[in-house]
Structure 1
């Protein structure tokens, strides 16, 4: 007699799929909001007037996924303010990306292979819910408040003229939604490129060993720079104090400082300038290089940083050692049948992609100014807002304008990273010839491929 079939308890397949996609999006947003909220609180955002904290938090999330925050307002022809901030608080970005990747992969655990249609369905549902979240973030990142006119004289003049300058900030919708969508797609692509737990369609399984070992090794390099940066932050607190400001850096902008150090160590250049004081937690050597006497573009590289602090030369051997260690790991995680030149080429490509992403993620473009009757005045709550959103402490009350730009020279940085990857990839493969490779058994042979993700 045929036994009746039993169905597993739980919601239907379609509903379960949407719930799993919702879990990915919500988990990422909660992680980002938690890190951002703590960082903003330490930066003094809780002192903002008119209940602007939730809007500032939403603006920080918009920046974390690559969006742009604009400020505008004034009082007719008497007062005007203009600002634009495009700078990713990468500590918030990394927290959200890692959390979303972990939740996405946990839903696929115990799977060696997944159908292409299933993966596309999961990604599609996650993308649709993420787009809805981006729209809500954009709507929430909007606030208006009154800006003090400055000293007592300015306040008296403003009162006599009936001026009440209002300043509003808002996340740019097309930029936040468009780049935010690209951010999620990059996160999911990197998840499948890096993680051995990510199942692939059967047709792609045979290609995973060409990508995953090198991608995973370079991800460890970026994590190592974050760990080193965190240790430096702790030592800074011990030696110089300023624990609150250091924690702001760690919670909002640690990768913004640590990852360019990787590129500079390889010989790459960043161009930029710093005018005024935006309240950003910029290290003294970097600040000194960016703040040129003429206000023009400055070049940030090993030479210019070493002129300010000779210890900057240590960035070169640090990058070389970490890359060589990563190349060795990538070779050890690949089958012995992979040739040396293949290791070198794959690692070079992975290093080039890593440098490209680091360069795009660490770009900073922020400037603002406030004037009344053509005279720059204090910013009050606006200064607090800018300092909090950008990840630093509040700028001085007398600040009237400021500008910070920092962008990599990608056309030289990417080839430099590829060259370093080619060299260290070859050396790492040579060093790995005497160690057991992934898939080998103790007798010296190799296990038959199982089709599961390796790398």
Structure 2
């Protein structure tokens, strides 16, 4: 029996057991965060022991899976429901843990073969699909909605109305988008980490891509960290600790990354009607509620609260800090205009990602004899969508200016250190 070479030993370190650990670590992290967030939101009170299935559905949506809402009122009535939202706190937790577990067997190496890297990623992807399939089949439940109002209750008895709403997972779509999510996490992990090995053909791109990718991850995480601090301060000062914890554990990035784009100049459009609410400051709910289509940007928010303009100052500090981090990790031979281009491209891609994952759409309605929506607590709509091209245009401007200034600042610091 021949002795194993160092290369063979390196390959053995990321076999099937390590792939299983990577998949389970990511799913457990998401499950714990989702369960705690839903507990804080009061989901443990759901009937029919639905809490575990709701947790499974939350994890499914967190990785891009599709959960379809279904409605049935029976008899002469009908109900309709729909929900599209990504709990980005759960997504972020899973991405960080999965990326760390994916990179761990590859550390302490400068270069890896394309076949070896593809084999390791393929093992993780196959086990990930099997685990996601199990979650998708678990995430299904039906709920009966009580008609609390006396008049509505009488109508229910008269027409045999027993409104139900439930959710099911679209398994093929969930597996497809879940696999895309995993591929994105693994690719981004390789781009961000300095210690992650790359195939020889890709080494020439690491000097321009890795610093910019790392800077954008730092920017997004800094926004989340700032949001956590603000949320905890608000919880201590004003109470509502449990509700604040639910927002932090389920949708904090949804809020802070939205604020990041608005501070850059982006415009979002939306509407809030009925019992739905937004897990964000009251001023946003005031702007969006009760209008056909409301505009959400610095101008409209400033009409309600002038402190919104501080978002511009915070964004300026964050973008400049990210630009400095990028320039400091880049080769010294790079000029300021190159840093500007790199950050401009990176910030555009980052804002585009926020626009894609930050959309929210939810509605529910109940009608009898086809006559409209009964309204009250039995109907409502929540919509939030970005004006993508405008947001990307502002991202280009901020990226170019911030990257140029960050490059100059990094050069100045290097000169002083060199002296």
Q: How does the TM-score come out when normalised to structure 1?
A: 0.85
User: 2:74–2:160: 8 Å Cα contact kept in structure 1?
Assistant: no
Aligned with residue 332 of structure 1, among 323, 328, 331: 328
Q: Aligned equivalents of 1:286 and 1:443: distance in 2?
A: 49
SS in 1 for 2:103: helix
**Deviation digits for residues 93-148 of structure 1 (CA, Å, limit 9, x no counterpart):** 00000000000111111111111111111112222222222222221111123332
Aligned residue in 2 for 1:413: 391
| Mapping for residues 210-289 of structure 1, pairs under 5 Å | 210-289=208-287
Q: How does 1:268-417 map to 2 (within 5 A)?
A: 268-292=266-290, 295-373=291-369, 374=371, 399-417=377-395
8 Å contact from structure 1 (residues 348, 419) kept in 2: yes
Counterpart contact for 1:268–1:416, Cα < 8 Å: yes
Q: Return closer, same or farther for 1:271/1:222 CA change in 2, 3 Å cut-off.
A: same
Give the distance between the partners of 2:160 and 2:105, measured in 1 at CA.
Answer: 60
Are the aligned partners of 2:66 and 2:174 in contact in 1 as well (CA < 8 Å)? Answer: yes
Deviations 1:150-172 (A, max 9, x none): 34555466457665444321122
Deviations 1:32-74 (A, max 9, x none): 0000000101111111111111111111112111233322232
| Match of residue 429, structure 1, among 407, 413, 417 | 407
After superposing on structure 2, the runs of 4+ consecutive aligned residues of structure 1 that deviate more than 4 Å are 10-16, 152-165, 372-378
Are the counterparts in 2 of residues 265 and 316 from structure 1 also a CA contact under 8 Å?
yes
The answer on whether the counterparts of 1:75 and 1:166 sit within 8 Å (CA) in structure 2 is yes
**Structure 2 vs 1, CA of residues 15 and 158 (structure 1 numbering), >3 Å: closer, same or farther?**
farther
After superposition, the Cα gap between the structure-2 partners of 1:404 and 1:110, relative to the gap in structure 1 and judged at 3 Å, is same
**Higher mean C-alpha displacement, 122-131 vs 218-227:** 122-131
Q: Which has the larger share of helix?
A: 2
**Using the alignment, how far apart are the partners of 2:235 and 2:170 within structure 1?**
36
For 2:362 and 2:46, how far apart are their aligned partners in 1?
A: 20
Q: Distance in 2 between matches of 1:291 and 1:185?
A: 38
Q: Which runs of 5+ in 2 are unaligned?
A: none
Checking the alignment, whether the CA contact within 8 Å between 1:36 and 1:57 is kept in structure 2 is yes
User: What residue number does 1:117 align with?
Assistant: 115
Map Cα deviations across residues 75-95 of structure 1 (whole Å, 9 max, x no partner): 433332211111100000000
Report the number of matched residues: 416
Q: Does 1 or 2 have the higher relative contact order (CA < 8 Å, sep 6+)?
A: 1
Q: Which moved more, 1:130-139 or 1:317-326?
A: 130-139
Alignment partners' CA distance in 2, 1:12 and 1:302:
52
Q: 1:147 to 1:6 in 2, by over 3 A?
A: same
Q: Secondary structure at the residue paired with 2:79?
A: strand
- TM-score (norm. length: structure 2): 0.92
- 1:264 is displaced (CA, Å) by 0.8
For 1:62-77, list aligned pairs within 5 A.
62-77=60-75
Q: Return 5+ residue gaps in structure 1 as ranges.
A: 379-397, 445-455
- Look up the match of 2:128: 130
